[in-house]
Amino acid sequence: LFRSDGDSILFREHSTHVVTWAQRFLFRPDQLETPVGQLSGGEQARILIAELMRQPADILLLDEPTNDLDIASLDVLEESLLELPGALVLVTHDRFLLDSICDQVIGFNGQGGTTYYADYEQWLADIDGQGQGIISEEKRYEKQKKRKQQKKATGKLSYMDQREYDSIEGKILSAEEEVDRLQSVMDSSETASDSQKLEAAWKELQTAKELVEKLYERWEELEGKRNAR
């Protein structure tokens, strides 16, 4: 899987055992002798990320790095980029990655020019005429400080957990609306007078209620992770 001299990998001038390095990218020790061609697409992507992180560089340029990555690879990518000691230039449409990784955003100002922003939200506000385009050193410092604190926090959500957390409230609302709709179907005279329709509607309603319950449980689980320290 990984090119190394003997049993060790050189990473940032420190020697790391190849098994430890492989596990960092979610590989089992028994996979080390597996030909790359026999691995899944996601596993091959994680090998590329591992090799990329080993390259000595003061600046790293990435163009749409989240394209075609599976969930595990997205998490590995985020964690690796957060640990990057040098500068990172990231070209992406992925807002979640921007929010979790970047402390500066270069955005088009709508007049043919570009401006530095503290984050994606500041750029949007400026486009709408509500914000101040130039990023202040104080705000930049605060964002960098916050990002470092998040890296140390044990309760920080992973990349995909954050995406799920940001969307789960909408999913709950949609699921509850479906429960209301199915309850109306159950209560209708047309359904009540037909035993087969009534049974089918009841089963659908129970399934919908179970989904709402599972979504609430998942929401509480994500909240717990998010607030953990």
Q: Which domains does the chain have, with CATH numbers?
A: 159-227 (1.10.287)
> Which of 93, 95, 127, 92 minimizes the C-alpha distance to 108?
127
DSSP character string of 9-70 = EEETTEEEEHHHHHHHTT--GGGTTS-GGGS-HHHHHHHHHHHHHHS--SEEEEESTTTT--
Which segments of the chain have a pLDDT < 50? 134-137, 151-154
CB atoms within 10 A of CB 207: 12
Q: What is the pTM of this model?
A: 0.52
pLDDT at 5: 55
pLDDT digits (tens, 9 = 90+) for 67-103: 888 888 888 888 888 888 888 998 888 888 888 888 8
Query: Strand 14-17 relative to strand 8-11: parallel, antiparallel, unpaired?
Result: antiparallel
* Dihedrals phi, psi of 106, to nearest 5 degrees: -100, 115
| Token pair for 75 | 């998490």
pLDDT at 63: 92
